[in-house]
Amino acid sequence: MSLNNDIVILLKDLINFESVTPDNSDCQKYIDDYLCKSNFKTDYIKYDDVQNMISTYGNGSPCLAFIGHTDVVPAGNINLWDSKPFKLTKKDDFLVGRGTSDMKGGIACFMQAVREFIDENKNFQGTIKLILTGDEEGDAINGIRKLIENNTFKKNELDFCLVGEPSSSDSIGDVIRNGRRGSITGHLTIFGVQGHVAYPEKAKNPIHLSSKILSQLLDIKFDNGNEYFPPTSFQISNINSGTGVDNVIPGSAAIAFNIRYSTETNHEEIKNKILKILNDSNCKYNIDWKHSGEPFLTRNNEFIDICKQSIKNVTNLDTEISTNGGTSDGRFMAKVCNQVVELGLTNRSIHKINECVRKDDLSVLVKIYKSILTRVFIK
């Protein structure tokens, strides 16, 4: 296997940019230069230290936007990698490097697909956009979220959004996402009164108080889910208390939990159910919330069907439609676009040491993206 076919060269160049969040490398400039050769026009929109780019080809409808991020998670301990994380390295049938799957591989496939598509269909009617951010893996404040908050896109401007995140499980196109669950995190502190374990009547044990509260929180039934979403799930992620010695009742207990929720509820309803239990407990407490996103769901089947047919055409696979997984920028795009689908490479090695992509998967994904472009613009 050589590293010299078009798609692999593209990916090799993209991986070379050490674009850890927030991406301030020249990665977006590289993509801009490439697209410019196919007559795309690029606007850069910067918020604080985050650069976003919107590249546009053509005009009018239909408009298909590819959504992605050029930033990557840190390499972690580079001594654990078998090769340099920011140098694309072949290993058997795989190409290894940070961002190969999440999601420079997806971006490279889309770049290659639009170039081939435009070369073969010079006068198609419609608009292709690439909307890329350098801030997806971090807090994602100044990326796609900000573009949407600042009304960068007109209502009805975007007909279809294809989020190129690694949605696939074992083979390309086996899973696509038509939505994601919402996510809200609570940081709860229960206050007691510190004291000697031998004199419990003079203290108030916050661990004991918490255990009662937690069991009530775990019993909350938020909803039953629906056709597209599993039931809302409440998970405790951290509990911290105690002074480290055996004879002291601590003064407080800190608990963190996260709720992944369906479209059958919303974050206000979730908060109210939790606050009711906390208030009824008569404990002194403090809670800070972090709401990372509402759930979204694409109900219209038009674009889902286009994606499914394209996958079937190229791979002969029947696709599973799912709303599982973490949050993505699809949640923000769903505010301005009714049809958002996530379809990309496999997610088995994302964020890991030795992140990799199967080389053959790249050409399969190029073909699928090209087939989608054809179905949207040529029919």
Using CA atoms, how far apart are residues 273 and 121, in angstroms rounded to an integer? 55
Catalytic residue among 102, 135, 136, 294: 136
* Greatest alpha-carbon span in the chain: 84
Q: Could you tell me the smallest distance in angstroms from the CB atom of residue 306 to Zn ion?
A: 22
Closer residue to Zn ion (CB): 102 or 355: 102
Closer residue to Zn ion (CB): 99 or 250: 99
Q: Could you tell me the smallest distance in angstroms from the CB atom of residue 88 to Zn ion?
A: 18
Please count the other Cβ atoms lying within 10 Å of the Cβ belonging to residue 304: 21
Q: Could you tell me the smallest distance in angstroms from the CB atom of residue 164 to Zn ion?
A: 9
User: Would residue 136 show up in a list of annotated catalytic residues for this protein?
Assistant: yes
> Using CB atoms, what's the residue nearest to Zn ion?
102
> Is residue 102 a contact point for Zn ion (CB under 5 A)?
yes
Sequence-distant (6+) residues with CB within 8 A of 131 are: 52, 53, 54, 65, 66, 67, 68, 144, 147, 333
Closer residue to Zn ion (CB): 50 or 103: 103
Closer residue to Zn ion (CB): 21 or 205: 21
Q: Which of 8, 10, 35, 103 binds Zn ion (CB under 5 A)?
A: 103
b/e code 329-361 from CB counts within 10 Å (16+ = b): bbbbbbebbebbbbbbbbbebbeebbbbbbbeb
Distances (CA, A) of 204 to 150, 208, 265: 49, 9, 35
Using CA atoms, how far apart are residues 200 and 193, in angstroms rounded to an integer? 10
Residues 193, 195, 199, 202, Cα dihedral to 10°: -30
Using CA atoms, how far apart are residues 139 and 142, in angstroms rounded to an integer? 8
Tell me whether the omega of the peptide bond preceding residue 62 falls within 30 degrees of 0, making it cis: yes
Q: Euclidean distance between the first and final Cα of the chain, in Å? A: 35
Catalytic residue among 23, 32, 71, 165: 71
Site for Zn ion in 119-178 (CB under 5 A): 165
Q: Which of 366, 299, 370 is nearest to 11 (CA)?
A: 366
Closer residue to Zn ion (CB): 294 or 329: 329
> Is residue 108 a contact point for Zn ion (CB under 5 A)?
no
Closer residue to Zn ion (CB): 67 or 366: 67
User: Would residue 71 show up in a list of annotated catalytic residues for this protein?
Assistant: yes
Q: Could you tell me the smallest distance in angstroms from the CB atom of residue 215 to Zn ion?
A: 36
Q: Which of 105, 113, 225, 208 is nearest to 165 (CA)?
A: 105
Query: Are 260 and 203 in contact, with CB atoms under 8 Å apart?
Result: no
Q: Could you tell me the smallest distance in angstroms from the CB atom of residue 7 to Zn ion?
A: 19
Residues touching Zn ion: how many (CB under 5 A)? 3
Mask of contacts with Zn ion, 47-86, x by CB under 5 A? ----------------------------------------
Mask of contacts with Zn ion, 193-232, x by CB under 5 A? ----------------------------------------
> Is residue 329 a contact point for Zn ion (CB under 5 A)?
no
Indicate which residues carry an active-site annotation.
71, 136
Residue ranges binding Zn ion (CB under 5 A):
102-103, 165
